[in-house]
Amino acid sequence: MECKNIIQKILHVTVMKSAIRVLTLCFLFLFTGFYSLSAQIKIYIETDLEGVSGVYNFTQTREKGSPENLKACEYFMGDLAAVVRGLRDGGATEILVLDGHGNQAMIPDLMIAGAKYITGLPRPQNGTWNIDKTYSGMVLFGFHAMNGTADGVLCHTQSSESENKYWYNGVESGEIAQSASVAGYFGVPAILVTGDEATCREAKKFLGDAVITVATKKGLARESAVLYPFEETRKALYEGAKKSIAAIPKCKPYIMETPVKVKEEYLEKAPSTIMPRLVTIEKVIENPLHLFD
């Protein structure tokens, strides 16, 4: 009898342990499933035009509405579609695209589903279109190298006509660092940069090796390039965008030490003078949100 009771107790304990294991596994499964469904991966895309496939001449980017510009904007939308698809397939749950080119590049009837798009000027200084800490990562799409880059296609920093140059805390920086520093202020890392090979090289220098880069062409000089077929670049853009979602944990926000010591140089052209005058401005700003005050 005693032996029978012992066996029953052992069986009872065994069954209870098995039941606990099953319940634990069920709980973990349900929790993991709920987390994966509720996790939000918001991506902010800031765009430019110079780094897009097939773009290599300033007539394509400066002269709004010209045949060359309209065609370049079509190239822009094709590249952008590949990136949006890649981000979505990589796991992005929300994508906001900001048209960052000076005279704008968006063609509304070529927008694909899967993102929201902001274009048109002027814009309010504050609003829901701004990047903030709710974003998981930033994409710098169609960017270009900083002014003075020998092999940078259409290289410039803010203005290619006044030849602007910027230094922050003594480091000469281009638009990649400018945009990444604003995102970095909110703790958001740049996860993908697209443009020519010089742009990709500059991105790695400022943002680190973890950032995904996709080259759309190879610069020979400021307005000449080795162009890659669209079929190849758009496949690479899709794959790079998809890969960038997985790279989010490895990418670090680009942080500028504050307060920021700023030096700016540009050429000022006056009607009464033949040669433009070099203007230098130095100041200290509180943080990267005031880079262009």
Q: What is the CATH number of the domain that holds 195?
A: 3.40.50.10780
Determine, yes or no, domain membership for 162: no
Quote the number of domains for the chain.
1
CA gap 253, 137 in Å, rounded = 9
What's the confidence (pLDDT) of residue 128? 65
CA gap 220, 209 in Å, rounded = 24
Determine, yes or no, domain membership for 288: no
Determine, yes or no, domain membership for 156: no
Rounded to two decimals, what is the model's pTM? 0.86
Determine, yes or no, domain membership for 112: yes
Determine, yes or no, domain membership for 89: yes
Determine, yes or no, domain membership for 54: yes
Determine, yes or no, domain membership for 264: no
pLDDT averaged per 10 residues in sequence order, the chain, 293 residues: 48 47 42 49 98 98 96 98 98 97 97 97 77 97 98 97 97 98 97 98 98 98 98 98 98 98 94 85 96 87
Question: Among 98, 2, 88, which Cα is nearest to 41's?
Answer: 88
Determine, yes or no, domain membership for 192: yes
What's the confidence (pLDDT) of residue 129? 76
The domain of 190 spans 39-145+174-254
What's the confidence (pLDDT) of residue 271? 75
CA gap 285, 280 in Å, rounded = 16
What's the confidence (pLDDT) of residue 273? 73
What's the confidence (pLDDT) of residue 26? 45
